[in-house]
Each structure stands twice: as C-alpha cells, then as structure tokens.
Amino acid sequence: MAPTSDRKQKNRVALTAASVSHPVPPSPCAQGEGGGVHAAKQLPLPPPFSPDLVANPRGSEEPVLTVFTIGHSTHEPDAFLVLLRRHRLATLVDVRSAPYSRYAPHFSQGALHSLLDGAGVRYIWAGEALGGRPADPACYRDGIVRKGNVDYRAMARQPSYQDGVQCLLEHAAGGPVVMMCSEEDPRRCHRHHLIEPSLRERGVTVLHIRRDGELESIDPDESALAPPSPQLALQGIET
C-alpha cells in the first residue's frame, strides 16, 4: 500500500468548476437565499473524473455531478474569495450547524453573506439539515447530545438530512457549488465523513479545495463513515 502522503499527492487534480458538467434538475430547490437555479454551460468532465470512470448508480447516461468543498480556516477575506474565483464557484452552501466564528469573525454568517454578495457569489445556509452538530437526540449515540457523540450513520438516515442532501444536489445541478465548513482539512470535518459518502452513493464526484487552492479527491477506501478527529486547526470553532 502506498503511503498516505503519496496517495494524497496522486489525488490532487488540476480542475475547476468550469470543466465540470452541471445537468439541470426538473425543479429547483427552494431552500436558502436568492432566486431560482440557473443552468451553467455544459462542459465535459476531464480524466480522471470522466463519466465512464465514475460509477453512476442511476445507470443512465446523465452527466455526473461534482460538488466542491472548502474549509474557511483562518483565511483572510480576500484570500478566501481568490479561492472561490479560481474555481469559478457561483454558490456557497454553508454546512456549519452554528454559522459563526469567534476567531475569524468575517466568516460569521452576516459578514460572510455580505462578503459573498459583493463578490457575486450566492450564499445558502444549510446547517440545520447538513450541519455536524444536529439538535435531534436520535442523531447521537444513546441519545446523549454532546460534542463528539454524533452518530453519522444514524444522522444519514434522517429524512431531514436526506432532504438537505437532495437540496444540495439540486443547487449543484444548476451551477458550480461549494459546501463550506470551518476545518481546512476535510479529513477532520463532517463534510468528508458524513456528507461526502452520501454524495458518492448518489454518483456525485466530490473535490476538496485545499489551502493552496489545489483540488483533492479522497479515495473512498482511505476513510470509512466515522466521526472526524478533533478539529485542531481552528480552536473553538466547530462544525
């Protein structure tokens, strides 16, 4: 088996949202800020993510959707916008349960919404359905609501979560979408451990935008559906 660092390097890809297909759904998702879903220009998905190499459980010739992810980490506002512009992202879906930050206040919901609006990027908060700290005790081991005790398998079965995933897919079908949480490393975040498996099951390609702007695809065999390790990069900021 190749070392983890080697696998990570191999999984880095030179790709932007402009080179990804975005088929239009029959009806747009009504959740979130802004108007309806608009179609993006249809372009072929390049190797190694061409449709014939990515499993499509629907068994159709429909182009495979791609969803990007990013962690805001300690980025300065302008640096964060550079990453979004680099990959030509039109919509940001905030998947934090609590969309606020004490250590990076420009990523609190109001300030972030204004920042993105000024850059022409649509902001949508989906933390109630897709956040890593749900309010429902049924999503926690033994029904005990506390940090680090979330049962992701149980959460993935909840109708509200499944509706949230469907909404994310409808936004992604309308144009380039990135889901955002706080942790820079997706391996320490529920967007990889919870949401990514749900998207993969639906035939979606997930690409992670790293701090340097490079894209990374994580091998599904590298990590199973399990709670992430403690978020160390942003002390005091949670999913």
pLDDT tens digit sequence for 88-101: 999 999 999 999 99
Arithmetic mean of pLDDT, 107-133:
97
Q: Please report, for residues 52, 133, 175, the alpha-carbon distance to residue 90 in angstroms, rounded to integers and kept in the order given.
A: 26, 26, 7
Look at residue 7 in the predicted model and tell me its pLDDT. 52
Higher pLDDT, 38 or 21: 21
Task: Delimit the domains of the chain by residue range.
Answer: 65-216
| pLDDT level of residue 226 (50, 70, 90 thresholds) | very low
Separation between Cα atoms, residue 23 and residue 5, nearest integer Å: 34
Residue 21 has pLDDT above 70, yes or no: no
- What CATH code is assigned to 65-216? 3.40.1010.10
Report the pLDDT value the prediction gives residue 176, as an integer from 0 to 100: 94
Distance CA(184)–CA(214), nearest Å, equals: 12
Q: Which of 61-65, 82-86, 224-228 has the highest mean pLDDT?
A: 82-86
Please give the pLDDT value at position 139.
94
Structure tokens at 75: 């980025």
pLDDT, one tens digit per residue, over 136-188 is 999 999 998 998 899 999 999 999 999 999 999 999 999 999 999 999 999 99
Nearest 10 degrees: CA dihedral of 207, 130, 160, 66?
Answer: -10
CB atoms within 10 A of CB 16: 17
For residues 114 and 129, give the distance between their C-alpha atoms in angstroms, rounded to a whole number.
Answer: 23
